[in-house]
Chain A
Amino acid sequence: MKTIAMILREIAALFVDDGRLALAILALVAFCAVLAFGLHGPASGIAGALTAGSIVILAFSVRQGARRKPH
């Protein structure tokens, strides 16, 4: 039972390690979904928002991680 619980925890950790990073990605996708299905925005705008948003999220997440003391 312990092994199964540990395997399930590890599976969840594959996607969610830094909770803020995971939440930011979900928020970005939700924003793009509203653009696509709610506002019927142009495909190039959605593609641009998704790509640029991912890079911005990555940069902020790295900045957050770089607050600790270097190894």
Chain B
Amino acid sequence: MTWTMAAPALSAAFLASLVEVVEAFTIVLAVGTVRGWRPALIGTGCALGALALLVLLLGPALTLIPLQALQLVIGVLLMMFGLRWLRKAILRAAGFIALHDEEAAFAKETGALQAGDSGTASRRDWLAGLTAFKAVMLEGIEVVFIVLAVGAGRGLLWPASLGALAACALVLALGLILRKPLARVPENTLKFAVGVMISAFGIYWTGEGLGVSWPGADLAILALAALLLASALTLVAAFRKRSVEMTA
């Protein structure tokens, strides 16, 4: 394992996980604030258990697939995932889609939980726990996919997992200190960076799966990321101008 390969895998998993964990944290915080920490923590714990089971089942299964086929399938999935994120991040940066607002998401979730005040206390706890479970499960599946996809292609599961764990630890630590939604995280900038990195990995793995020997070997990922970043920034500049013209 080389540092040029491990560093992009670690940073891509860290940044992507940071975005997902912040979103899950907002909802768990809303559940904990409105309905108490017991259902929030039970829902979160169940989701983390289900995710661990998913990793235990999928991890060994991936080793049974021939490497070239695995690289091709994961590469295509990463391209679909990464270019989708990058497209949205470009449209947000250009002003065509609203930026994600954690405080608004928190307010919406607490409002929804307070609105569902009817029923017995145990039913309310069950619904609150289910809300936390869904949030952690859905965002967690994205984290698991990113870690497996970025790491499985060439034995980089450890650096990718470390990146994801570091993101979880950071969000948890900040959340415990602040006890409010992490609204100051520059989410679109992170999504932009993640979209670039994941797309670069996707193109690289797809190429490897098709039998391409990339010039510069692993360094090609950084070159692909630089090319995608330059293209994306050009698109933002072009479409921001158009957005301004349309609103003028």
Interface residues of A (CB under 8 A from B): 3, 6-7, 10-11, 14-18, 21-22, 25-26, 29, 32-33, 36-37, 43-44, 46-47, 50-51, 54-55, 57-59, 61-63, 65-66, 68-71
Asked whether A65 lies within 8 Å of B87 as measured between CB atoms, the reply is: yes
Question: When the two chains form the complex, which single residue of A6, A51, A58 contacts B235, counting CB atoms closer than 8 Å?
Answer: A58
User: Which candidate, B23-31, B77-85, B108-116, B152-160, is the interface stretch facing chain A?
Assistant: B77-85
Q: How far is the CA of A54 from the CA of B235 in the complex (A)?
A: 14
Roughly how many angstroms separate A48 CA and B207 CA in the complex, as a whole number?
10
CB distance from B204 to the nearest CB of A (A): 9
The A-contacting residues of B in range 121-165, CB under 8 angstroms, are 130, 133-134, 137-138, 141-142, 145
B212 and A62: CB pair below 8 A? no
| B210 at interface by CB-CB < 8 Å | yes
List residues of chain B with CB within 8 A of the CB of A10: 138, 141
Instruction: Flag whether B203 is at the interface (Cβ < 8 A).
Output: yes
A-B contact count (CB 8 A): 118
Please pick, from A21, A50, A71, the residue contacting B97 in the complex, using a CB distance under 8 A.
A71
Q: How many Å lie between the Cα of A23 and that of B214 in the bound state?
A: 25
Write the residues of chain B forming the contact surface with A, with a CB cutoff of 8 angstroms: 76-77, 79-81, 83-84, 86-88, 90-91, 94-98, 130, 133-134, 137-138, 141-142, 145, 199, 203, 206-207, 210-215, 224, 227-228, 231-232, 235, 239, 242-243, 246-247
Cα(A61)–Cα(B96), bound, Å: 13
Known: A18-B84, A22-B80, A46-B210. A55 touches B246 (CB 8 A): no
